[in-house]
Structure 1
Amino acid sequence: GARAGGEIAGPVGEIVGGTVGAAVGAGLEIPNAVITSIPRDEPSVVVRERVVVGEPLPSTVELRTVPRHTEYRYAIVNDRRVIVEPRTRRVVKIID
């Protein structure tokens, strides 16, 4: 976040970019109970885009509700389980 902001808008952009990047990357702590509730044996969807924390998943990827933790959504993309912010579709954690 800071590097991209600095390249685009100088020192002020670096501060804003760093703040946004930190909020997306480290600001959301996912409880272990949520992680262990996500099934491992579901089919994976293949997407061409890189799956990266902080970036949204394509609209073609179906988001599923985490069992017993309905405030969280997940998807299995390119053989990796990912937890997604449902409103923005942004990846908040890549599990494996």
Structure 2
Amino acid sequence: MTIKTIVLAAMVAAIPAVASAQATMRNGTAPAPIMDNPVDETGHTIGSAVTPTPAQATIPDAVLNQVRGSHVRSISVNQQIAPGERLPKAVHLHAVHDYPKYRFAVVNDQRMIVDPHSRKIMQIVQ
């Protein structure tokens, strides 16, 4: 075999890889990947297993029961109260016995579990 034949064979073998690399971008966007799981309109995979964030984690029943049974006066704030929102520093966070990673507050007559570090509302307690 000559050098030209070897070089030609190597070039022919590399064509699929080069063509594949060029096909990954068209007009600045990558083609949609082929997936086994369906995707919703926001691009999140439906039905896949994910690790919940602290705000999405399941809160133990003992924490919820303790918050429901507490006798704490509600304070009023003029802001949206919803999971993921941060409570103002003026809102006192009450300890949850035996669960140091949770605090609770009663704001605008709603009981809520709060992340003590970020002050984000984790869950409104019904």
TM-score greater than 0.5 by the shorter chain: yes
Query: Could you list the runs of 4 or more consecutive aligned residues of structure 1 that deviate by over 6 angstroms after TM superposition?
Result: none
**Alpha-carbon shift at residue 15 of structure 1 (Å):** 5.5
Q: Which runs of 5+ in 1 are unaligned?
A: 1-13, 17-21
More strand by share: 1
Q: Which residue pairs with 1:29 in the alignment?
A: 58
Provide the aligned C-alpha RMSD in A. 2.1
Q: Higher helix fraction: Structure 1 or Structure 2? A: 1
Residue correspondences, number? 77
CA contact (8 A) 1:54 1:92 kept: yes
Amino acid across the alignment from 1:54: G
Residues 77-86 or 34-43, more deviating: 34-43
User: Quick check: which has more Rg, 1 or 2?
Assistant: 2
Q: How high is the sequence identity, in percent, across the aligned residues?
A: 32
Q: Which residue of the partner structure matches residue 43 of structure 1? A: 73
Deviations 1:20-50 (A, max 9, x none): xx7465x311011110011342100111101
* Residue 75 (structure 1) aligns with: 105
8 Å CA contact 1:64–1:73 kept in 2: the answer is: yes
2:80 is aligned with 1:54? no
Greater relative contact order (Cα < 8 A, sep 6+): 1
Provide Cα deviations, 1:30-79, integer angstroms capped at 9, x if missing partner. 01111001134210011110111011001110011112323210001011
Q: Secondary structure at the match of 2:102?
A: strand
TM-score relative to the length of structure 1: 0.69
